[in-house]
């Protein structure tokens, strides 16, 4: 087959540039400017897909983004393949490959079509009533359900394309470059304002594209000439930017809009290379003009979904714009005059119109008269009751309507055809308007929702505001835009159009069969029928939001662009509720689907999130460290040598730290510089313990609670001077603690003279611990006297390393003799290397976060976020010693004696030793008092930290258990999947209970 | 998506700010004198108004100052902005 349905001349395609492409493996050709839809239609192909549930044969309905049926899988390449792309929007390029979806083995012969025959047991919501019993078969059902769900296939490799984001500010944004939009843009541009004009299509002109040259003239030009002329005029203005192939996805509050611009999808492979594929524009506009047009409606009757049933305006566009006739024997089915423009176009191009079926009694419109004059047969007050044909329509069955339109009368009339153009009127495209918070009103006489009220700086013009006559559109646009922009541009347009007849509307056309015996489709993509709507109403669903979800009407990738109005109309008729009272379901962004790539932009791979590295990072990397993510930081986790496993590395590091010396990069912990004459008072209020008497150059561990009494953060704070402290926080808490302290200072205690500065990134911190740590520090910081009497535990000294000042704190998180050097960040790596060199003779061993966790656990030190989870008080941690009883108040104090915080049976932190010392518990494992044959067993608590201690040669763990403080020595049980582990509740300090190791 | 006028920096995009809950809740000066219920009232109970609501906002990615905002939660319209410690203008 080759382009047998292409007219020999006419259309906007470039007949000099032939393009080959593949559809379902078949080689075909079209021309530059064709969409996949127009090219396939030119080749006589209508069957392009199978419907979601019933696998019915489906063909093209429309010509634009409203297309529900012709969605294809585009690209073969596993990284670029995309499902559910509307063939009506794919611009063909050389080498394009596309496939039908949701059919197997082929679109022509699809095994799942059996679903169509099973349809009586597959109505809307059938899955709520099936697959329930027996429950244990669910796993088997799920496998098949997953296989049949969805339409196309997701890519299985990383997206190789480039995407970008762009911010843009403008004074006037015009959405839509149809006749109204182009006119509005002209007025705005002439006023000198900064204008952005966008349209989702590659061509400008909106509804004028593909219109009949003889029927419409603007300024004595054909529509095509007028569009071209206007566009060139607009380009002369420097203050207007025009974007085509740009779809507005979302309209948010405060005139903030997101739109997606397609840059390369229509180009061939060579021209696409290394270019940005799509650009997401984030636009803030002072004023917005919505000119989004309207969408033609189908008609709802039995089997209205057959391939070859198309919207009349689409057929017209394929004919006049793409030079493609969609059939040879045409029937037109209408309730308005617009379809007669299609009839005239078809007739002009020599296509046979067998009849026009019109549900109206009559029309005195000019176009109707022209058709009558041409001898085209019109059957007034008739309706189609069924469309026959399987993979292509081949016949329509027609009957006369009763005078009240509620039923059909008389005999069936059958007319054969290969194309049926339907025209049910137009629905204003109010999606963006409602997204922006606008309120709609329903026009009872004209059967559409139109924009009524908005609180934003915005107007709607053209057919999206409910005006369909071209002359009126242009006039109204001048009036509205001049008022909106406070301009005074004169309307000099001469529009010659035609007098139009009236409009009659029947949402669900009557039939000679009961509705249960018909398949009248409302939502083509999700296969929901008029019957499904009726079923939902019968089952008691009243709200349109419920009916929508129960029947899945309007929930497919086309978001009900064609389906919504008829669904509402049928609900309104059956429930006898006014449509205006029913309202519409909520329109949500995006208007048409967006790619993930566009949404993410450049933030992929290493740009997905910020990575924070310490000044010593490169040393860790070069020395084989494996890293763990702590927030955005990369922290050295362990340093495996000679291919050892993580377990072995951590055992080795933990042993070395206590036997000789260990060195840890602690730079990521939060550091806050606190200054001011009220600094001590401030610390008293934010920590649980006492700070007023802390001497200068002394360090103290502080615990911070939330106002609800739960442990929030902890760290050592050092007094550097009279009114100067440096606080440390956990790595993860750095920013939040800083925020919280600022909050209190600004909003509760503005009278305190305290100034906070985050200095986390300013200082690198090298921590050296172990019996030889003192000797190592002596070699590195030569001007400090490290003798114990001079430099006791929990104190601070200023030091000098190679003429650079540093701070040395003697504090310990491992329980070993330990010192921390804090130095300006850019010297961090040098100091680390100095310590490594000085420690070489003592076998200094770098250790990571995993060994650090193990070492502190041996000493029973808590880690906020590991032992605590926001529900744990200091009392629960058996840390009553850190609550100062004398202080009047501190953050969280009052909550410590709420009845809930003081009650018996709270979970308290304890140690656990396993009966089998080699058995290491799993963190998170649940603990019970008694093993029963079957659940339930009362869970007393869980394991928070667990390790095999190389220093104690046995497994140790920390846990929080109900009433833990009274359970010391008790045997408890941990039921795992395949075994039960016995444990004894122990003290939380496993090693060096006296703390003598702190002195080396 | 909204535009918030920071009293110190001027109009900025919503994404520069972080929300801090209901405004004008003062931390009790004498918590020891409150019953558990009264303390729980301060700790946990917050209004959730459909309509004009007074809220705290922080210019987290800017001057890091806290201030108050009167916002209509039904349409996100911000009626006015005022400094921390001030009362809403009439």
pLDDT value of residue A232:
97
Q: What is the 3-state secondary structure (H, E, C) of A757-769?
A: EECCCCEEEEEEE
Q: Per-residue pLDDT averaged across A933-954, rounded?
A: 95
Q: Per-residue pLDDT averaged across A10-37, rounded?
A: 96
Give which of B1, B4, B21, B79 to mutate to test A binding, by max A Cβ within 10 Å: B1
A761: closest CA among A668, A664, A830? A668
Identify whether the C-beta of residue A838 lies closer than 8 Å to the C-beta of residue A638: no
CA geometry: angle at A820 spanning A838 and A629, to 5°?
100
- Is the sign of the CA dihedral A212, A217, A220, A221 positive or negative? negative
Q: Per-residue pLDDT averaged across A508-537, rounded?
A: 93
pLDDT value of residue A135:
74
Cα separations in angstroms, A220 against A93, A117, A212, A214, A225:
35, 56, 14, 11, 9
pLDDT value of residue A386:
97
Q: Pick the residue with more confidence: A62 or A515? A: A62
Partners of B41 on chain A (C-beta within 8 Å) are none
**Strand ranges for A759-815 from DSSP E:** 763-769, 795-801, 804-810
Residue of A nearest to B85 (CA): A747
DSSP annotation of A21: E
- Those residues whose C-beta lies under 8 Å from the C-beta of residue A695, and which sit 6 or more positions away, are A719
Q: Tell if the CB–CB gap between A899 and B26 is shorter than 8 Å.
A: no
A275-288 pLDDT tens trace: 999 999 999 999 99
- DSSP count for chain B of H helices, then E strands: 1, 6
Give which of B43, B55, B65 to mutate to test A binding, by max A Cβ within 10 Å: B43
Residues in chain B: 90
Percentage of residues in chain A having pLDDT higher than 90: 89
Euclidean distance between CA atoms A792 and A790, whole angstroms: 6
Two domains, one topology: A162-294+428-496 and A298-424: yes
Euclidean distance between CA atoms A344 and A149, whole angstroms: 43
- Is the sign of the CA dihedral A599, A603, A608, A614 positive or negative? negative
Identify whether the C-beta of residue A229 lies closer than 8 Å to the C-beta of residue A221: yes
Identify whether the C-beta of residue A12 lies closer than 8 Å to the C-beta of residue A322: yes
Q: Per-residue pLDDT averaged across A706-726, rounded?
A: 97
Burial (CB < 10 A; 0-12, 13-18, 19+), residue A844, is buried
Half-sphere exposure at residue A121, Cβ-oriented, CA atoms within 13 angstroms: 6
Identify whether the C-beta of residue A165 lies closer than 8 Å to the C-beta of residue A279: yes
Q: Which fold has domain A518-577?
A: Arc Repressor Mutant, subunit A (1.10.10)
Q: Tell if the CB–CB gap between A894 and B3 is shorter than 8 Å.
A: no
A20-31 pLDDT tens trace: 999 999 999 999
Identify whether the C-beta of residue B51 lies closer than 8 Å to the C-beta of residue B76: no
Strand order in the sheet with A755-758: A699-705, A711-721, A724-729, A670-675, A755-758
Identify whether the C-beta of residue A227 lies closer than 8 Å to the C-beta of residue A182: yes
ipTM, interface predicted TM-score of the complex: 0.98
CATH class entry, domain A901-986: mainly beta
Euclidean distance between CA atoms A477 and A184, whole angstroms: 6
Q: Pick the residue with more confidence: B1 or A326? A: A326
A590-649 pLDDT tens trace: 999 999 999 999 999 989 999 999 999 999 999 999 999 999 999 999 999 999 999 999
Euclidean distance between CA atoms A571 and B64, whole angstroms: 53
Write down the domain spans for chain A: 14-121, 162-294+428-496, 298-424, 518-577, 670-759, 901-986
Report the Cα A350 to chain-centroid distance in Å: 49
A505 token code pair: 């509307």
CA geometry: angle at A341 spanning A339 and A347, to 5°?
105
Partners of A894 on chain B (C-beta within 8 Å) are 31-32, 34, 39
A76 token code pair: 């073969």
Identify whether the C-beta of residue A435 lies closer than 8 Å to the C-beta of residue A589: yes
Phi then psi for A317, rounded to 5 degrees?
Answer: -70, -40
Q: Per-residue pLDDT averaged across A667-678, rounded?
A: 98
Give the lowest-confidence range in A80-84, A499-503, A534-538, A614-618.
Answer: A499-503
pLDDT value of residue A106:
82
If you average pLDDT over every residue of chain A, what do you get?
A: 94
With a cut of 70, say whether residue A862 has pLDDT above it.
yes
Partners of A165 on chain B (C-beta within 8 Å) are none
Residue of B nearest to A256 (CA): B1
Identify whether the C-beta of residue A656 lies closer than 8 Å to the C-beta of residue A855: no
* Cis amide bond preceding A971, omega within 30: no
First-last CA distance in chain B: 27
Of A253, A708, A888, the CB nearest to B43: A708
pLDDT value of residue A526:
92
Q: How confident is the model at residue A139 (pLDDT cuts 50, 70, 90)?
A: confident
Identify whether the C-beta of residue A613 lies closer than 8 Å to the C-beta of residue A834: no
Q: Pick the residue with more confidence: A216 or A831? A: A831
* Axis-axis angle for helices A544-551, A530-538 (nearest 10): 120
Instruction: Tokens 């939001």: give the residue.
Output: A545
Q: How confident is the model at residue A150 (pLDDT cuts 50, 70, 90)?
A: confident
pLDDT value of residue A741:
98
DSSP annotation of A880: G
pLDDT value of residue A167:
96
Q: What is the 3-state secondary structure (H, E, C) of A66-134?
A: CCCCCEEEECCCCCCCEEEEECCCCECCCCEEEEECCCCECCCCEHHHHHHHCHHHCCCCHHHHCCCCC
For A925, other C-beta atoms within 10 Å of its C-beta total 18
Q: Choose the CATH number for A14-121 among 3.50.50.60, 3.30.420.10, 3.10.20.440, 3.30.365.10.
A: 3.10.20.440
Q: Per-residue pLDDT averaged across A689-712, rounded?
A: 96
Euclidean distance between CA atoms A417 and A369, whole angstroms: 24
First-last CA distance in chain A: 90
CA geometry: angle at A982 spanning A981 and A986, to 5°?
125
Do the bridges between strand A96-100 and strand A71-74 make them parallel or antiparallel, or are there none, so unpaired?
Answer: antiparallel
CATH number of A670-759: 3.30.70.1400
* Axis-axis angle for helices A312-320, A338-348 (nearest 10): 30
Q: Tell if the CB–CB gap between A898 and B76 is shorter than 8 Å.
A: no
Do the bridges between strand A844-846 and strand A661-665 make them parallel or antiparallel, or are there none, so unpaired?
Answer: parallel
Q: Tell if the CB–CB gap between A748 and B26 is shorter than 8 Å.
A: yes
Partners of A887 on chain B (C-beta within 8 Å) are none
Q: Tell if the CB–CB gap between B84 and A747 is shorter than 8 Å.
A: yes
Instruction: Tokens 């079509």: give the residue.
Output: A113
Euclidean distance between CA atoms A256 and B17, whole angstroms: 17
For A685, other C-beta atoms within 10 Å of its C-beta total 21
A760-771 pLDDT tens trace: 999 999 999 999
Cα separations in angstroms, A956 against A615, A855, A920:
34, 11, 7
DSSP annotation of A377: -
What's the gap in Å between the CA of A897 and the closest CA on chain B?
Answer: 8
Give which of A458, A888, A894 to mutate to test B binding, by max B Cβ within 10 Å: A894
- Those residues whose C-beta lies under 8 Å from the C-beta of residue A246, and which sit 6 or more positions away, are A198, A199, A200, A259, A260, A261, A262, A281
Largest CA distance in chain A: 116
Q: Per-residue pLDDT averaged across B34-60, rounded?
A: 96
Largest CA distance in chain B: 43
Residue of A nearest to B31 (CA): A894
With a cut of 80, say whether residue A804 has pLDDT above it.
yes
A948 token code pair: 């095999």
Q: Tell if the CB–CB gap between A256 and B39 is shorter than 8 Å.
A: no
A233-270 pLDDT tens trace: 999 999 999 999 999 999 999 999 999 999 999 999 99
pLDDT value of residue A145:
74
Bridge partner list, B13 = B3
Euclidean distance between CA atoms A83 and A859, whole angstroms: 57
Cα separations in angstroms, A806 against A92, A699, A809:
67, 16, 10
With a cut of 60, say whether residue A1 has pLDDT above it.
no
Q: Per-residue pLDDT averaged across A682-701, rounded?
A: 96
With a cut of 80, say whether residue A117 has pLDDT above it.
no
Q: Tell if the CB–CB gap between A742 and B43 is shorter than 8 Å.
A: no
Partners of B64 on chain A (C-beta within 8 Å) are 742
Identify whether the C-beta of residue A214 lies closer than 8 Å to the C-beta of residue A187: no
Q: Per-residue pLDDT averaged across A178-197, rounded?
A: 96
Partners of B76 on chain A (C-beta within 8 Å) are 253-254
CATH number of A162-294+428-496: 3.50.50.60
Q: Which fold has domain A298-424?
A: FAD/NAD(P)-binding domain (3.50.50)
Euclidean distance between CA atoms A68 and A554, whole angstroms: 10
- Those residues whose C-beta lies under 8 Å from the C-beta of residue A307, and which sit 6 or more positions away, are A46, A47, A48, A57, A58, A59, A60, A389, A391, A392, A393
A171 token code pair: 């004074």
Identify whether the C-beta of residue A249 lies closer than 8 Å to the C-beta of residue A261: no
DSSP annotation of A781: -
| Chain A: residues touching B (Cβ < 8 Å) | 252-254, 256, 284, 437, 455, 707-708, 739, 742-743, 746-748, 750, 888-889, 893-895, 898-899
A492: closest CA among A512, A505, A478? A478
Q: How confident is the model at residue A511 (pLDDT cuts 50, 70, 90)?
A: very high
Q: Tell if the CB–CB gap between B1 and A253 is shorter than 8 Å.
A: yes
């Amino acid at each position: 087959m080759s382009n047998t349905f292409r007219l020999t001349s006419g259309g906007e395609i470039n007949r000099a540039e032939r393009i080959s492409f593949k559809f379902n493996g078949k080689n075909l050709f079209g021309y530059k400017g064709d969409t996949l839809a127009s090219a396939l239609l030119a080749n006589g192909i209508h069957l392009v897909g199978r419907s979601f549930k019933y696998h019915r044969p489906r063909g093209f309905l429309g010509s634009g983004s409203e297309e529900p049926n012709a969605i294809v899988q585009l690209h073969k390449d596993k990284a670029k393949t995309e499902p559910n792309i509307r063939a009506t929007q794919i611009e063909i390029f050389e080498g394009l490959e596309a496939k039908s979806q949701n059919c197997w083995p082929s679109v022509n012969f699809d095994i799942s079509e059996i679903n169509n025959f099973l349809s009586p047991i597959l109505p809307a919501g059938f899955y709520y009533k099936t697959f329930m019993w027996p429950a244990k078969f669910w796993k088997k059902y799920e496998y098949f359900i997953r296989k049949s769900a969805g339409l196309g296939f997701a890519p299985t490799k990383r997206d190789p394309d480039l995407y970008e984001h762009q911010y843009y500010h403008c004074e006037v944004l015009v959405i839509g470059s149809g006749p109204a939009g182009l006119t509005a843009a002209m007025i705005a541009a002439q006023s000198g304002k900064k204008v952005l004009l966008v349209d989702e299509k590659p061509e400008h002109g909106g509804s004028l594209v593909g219109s009949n040259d003889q029927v419409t003239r603007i300024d004595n030009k054909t529509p095509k000439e007028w569009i071209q002329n206007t566009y060139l005029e607009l380009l002369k203005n420097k203050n207007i930017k025009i974007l085509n192939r740009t779809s507005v996805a979302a309209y948010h509050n405060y005139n903030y809009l997101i739109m997606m611009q397609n840059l390369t999808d229509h180009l061939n492979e060579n021209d696409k290379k290394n270019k940005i594929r799509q650009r997401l524009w984030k636009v803030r506009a002072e004023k917005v003009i919505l000119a989004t047009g309207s969408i033609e409606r189908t008609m709802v009757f039995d089997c209205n979904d057959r391939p070859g049933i198309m919207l009349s305006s689409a057929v017209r566009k394929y004919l006049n714009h793409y030079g493609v006739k969609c059939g040879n024997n045409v029937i037109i089915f209408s309730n308005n005059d617009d379809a007669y423009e299609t009839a005239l176009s078809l007739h002009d191009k020599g296509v046979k119109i067998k009849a026009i079926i019109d549900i109206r009694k009559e029309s005195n419109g000019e176009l109707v008269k022209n058709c009558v004059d041409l001898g085209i047969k019109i059957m007034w007050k008739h309706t189609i009751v069924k469309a026959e044909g399987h993979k292509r329509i081949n016949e329509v069955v027609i009957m006369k309507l009763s005078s009240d339109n509620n039923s059909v009368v008389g005999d069936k009339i059958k007319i054969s055809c290969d194309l049926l153009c339907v025209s049910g009127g137009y629905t204003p495209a109010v999606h963006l308007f409602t997204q922006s918070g606008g309120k709609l009103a329903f026009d009872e006489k004209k059967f559409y929702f139109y924009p009524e009220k908005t609180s934003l700086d915005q107007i709607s013009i053209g057919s999206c505001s409910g005006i369909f006559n071209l002359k009126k559109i242009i006039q109204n646009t001048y009036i509205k835009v001049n008022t909106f922009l406070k301009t005074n541009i004169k309307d000099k347009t001469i529009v010659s159009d035609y007098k139009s007849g009236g409009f009659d509307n029947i949402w669900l056309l009557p039939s000679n069969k009961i509705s249960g015996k018909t398949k009248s489709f409302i939502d083509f993509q999700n296969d929901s029928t008029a019957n499904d709507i009726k079923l939902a109403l019968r089952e008691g669903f009243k709200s349109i939001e419920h009916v929508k979800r129960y029947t899945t009407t309007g929930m497919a990738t086309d978001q009900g662009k064609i389906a919504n109005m008829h669904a509402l109309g049928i609900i309104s008729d059956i429930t006898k509720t006014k449509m205006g009272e029913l309202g519409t379901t909520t329109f949500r962004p995006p208007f048409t689907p967006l790619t993930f790539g566009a949404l993410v932009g450049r933030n992929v791979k290493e740009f997905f999130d910020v990575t924070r590295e310490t000044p010593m990072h490169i040393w860790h990397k070069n020395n084989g460290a494996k890293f763990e993510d702590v927030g955005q930081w990369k922290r050295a986790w362990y340093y495996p040598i000679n291919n050892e496993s993580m377990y072995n590395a951590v055992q080795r590091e933990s042993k070395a730290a206590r036997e000789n010396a260990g060195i840890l990069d602690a730079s990521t912990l939060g550091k806050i510089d606190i200054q001011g004459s009220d600094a001590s008072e401030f610390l008293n209020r934010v920590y649980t313990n006492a700070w007023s008497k802390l001497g200068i150059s002394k360090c103290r561990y502080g615990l911070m609670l939330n106002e609800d009494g739960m442990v929030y953060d902890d760290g050592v704070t050092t007094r550097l001077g009279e009114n100067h402290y440096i606080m440390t926080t956990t790595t993860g808490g750095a920013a939040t603690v800083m925020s919280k302290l600022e909050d209190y200072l600004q909003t509760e205690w503005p009278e305190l003279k305290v100034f906070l500065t985050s200095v986390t990134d300013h200082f690198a911190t090298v921590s050296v611990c172990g019996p030889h740590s003192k000797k190592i520090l002596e070699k590195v910081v030569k001007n400090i006297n490290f003798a114990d009497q001079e430099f006791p535990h929990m104190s601070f000294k200023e030091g000098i390393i190679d003429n650079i000042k540093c701070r040395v704190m003697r504090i310990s998180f491992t329980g070993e003799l330990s010192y921390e050097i804090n130095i300006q960040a850019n010297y961090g790596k040098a100091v680390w290397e100095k310590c490594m060199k000085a420690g070489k003779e003592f076998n200094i061993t770098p250790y990571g976060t995993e060994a650090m966790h193990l070492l502190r656990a041996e000493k029973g030190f808590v880690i906020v976020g590991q032992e605590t989870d926001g529900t744990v008080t200091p009392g629960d941690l058996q840390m009553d010693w850190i609550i100062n009883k004398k202080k009047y108040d501190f953050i969280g104090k009052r909550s410590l004696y709420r009845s809930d915080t003081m009650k018996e049976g709270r979970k308290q932190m304890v140690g656990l030793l396993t009966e089998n010392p080699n058995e290491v518990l799993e963190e998170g494992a649940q603990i019970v008092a008694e093993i029963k044959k079957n659940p339930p067993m009362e869970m007393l608590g869980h394991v928070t930290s667990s390790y095999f201690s190389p220093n104690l040669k046995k497994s140790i763990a920390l846990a929080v258990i109900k009433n833990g403080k009274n359970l010391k020595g008790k045997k408890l049980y941990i039921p795992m999947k395949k075994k039960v582990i016995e444990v004894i509740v122990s003290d939380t300090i496993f090693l060096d209970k006296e703390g003598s190791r702190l002195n080396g | 998506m909204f535009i918030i006028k920071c009293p110190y920096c001027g109009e900025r995009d919503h994404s520069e700010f972080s929300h801090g809950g209901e405004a004008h809740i003062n931390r009790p000066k004498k918590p020891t004198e409150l019953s558990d219920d009264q303390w729980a009232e301060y700790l946990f109970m917050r209004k959730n108004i459909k309509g004009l609501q007074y809220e705290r906002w922080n210019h987290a990615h800017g001057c890091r100052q806290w201030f108050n905002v009167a916002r209509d939660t039904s349409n996100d319209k911000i009626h006015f902005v005022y400094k921390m410690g001030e009362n809403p203008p009439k």
